[in-house]
Structure 1
Amino acid sequence: MEVITIEKKTFDEMNEKFERFVDRVEEICRRCGDKGLGEWLDNQDVCRMLNISPRTLQTLRDNGTLAYSRISQKIYYKPRDVRRILPVVEERRKEAGYRKRTI
């Protein structure tokens, strides 16, 4: 283990700067409100909301109908984007049902 010594004055200055940094970060978080992951939906949430399969969800992503964000290997969606495409999904469901009945 390596030990590093610094003057108390230097330590106090570093500590004070760190405290100011923490205060600034907390203020930014308060100003921005809760824009964290709590507002985002995952694949399972979206499939449940739209009553679609994971494969259909993949198609919506692939053809650009539904915007998404990828963090590591997980995909997230904004609730407003999901609500925006709800009429599109319902219309496609009606069209598919109509085609099935006419055959």
Structure 2
Amino acid sequence: MEIISMDIRTFDALFARIREIEEKSELLSRKHEDIGLKKWLDNEDVCNILGISKRTLQTYRDKGILPFSRIRNKLFYRPEDVERLLQSSYHPNTSQL
């Protein structure tokens, strides 16, 4: 075993630099995680947007009508996929002309 000796000021500076690097890496990983998930919708958001129940949403997933991703046992949907489903289901009422 080797023993390394250093001045306390050098040790404190090294320790402070390591702490700074650790804080920056945590901040960067949090920002990356937040940016990615803020764009996605969860089950409740999609049910509210589409005006459907959770069971109907499950049927949409089962039938492949609405693509989804599972992250840590939670389901997420891309807003553009939900928008596409809304557009494909939209039929203007032309009988009132």
What TM-score, normalized to structure 2?
0.58
Separation in 1 of the partners of 2:61 and 2:37? 20
**Which residue number in structure 1 is paired with residue 58 of structure 2?**
58
More helix by share: 1
What TM-score, normalized to structure 1?
0.56
Q: How does 1:1-103 map to 2 (within 5 A)?
A: 8=8, 9-10=10-11, 12-23=13-24, 26=27, 29=31, 35-90=35-90
Aligned letter for 1:66? L
Aligned residues with identical type, % of pairs: 40
Task: Go from structure 1 to structure 2 and tell me whether the alpha carbon gap of 1:27 and 1:72 turns closer, same or farther (over 3 Å shift).
Answer: closer
Shift of 1:49: 0.9
5+ residue gaps, structure 2: 92-97
Please, what is the CA RMSD of the aligned residues? 3.1
Q: Report SS of the residue matched to 1:64.
A: coil
**Count of paired positions:** 83
Separation in 1 of the partners of 2:83 and 2:22? 38
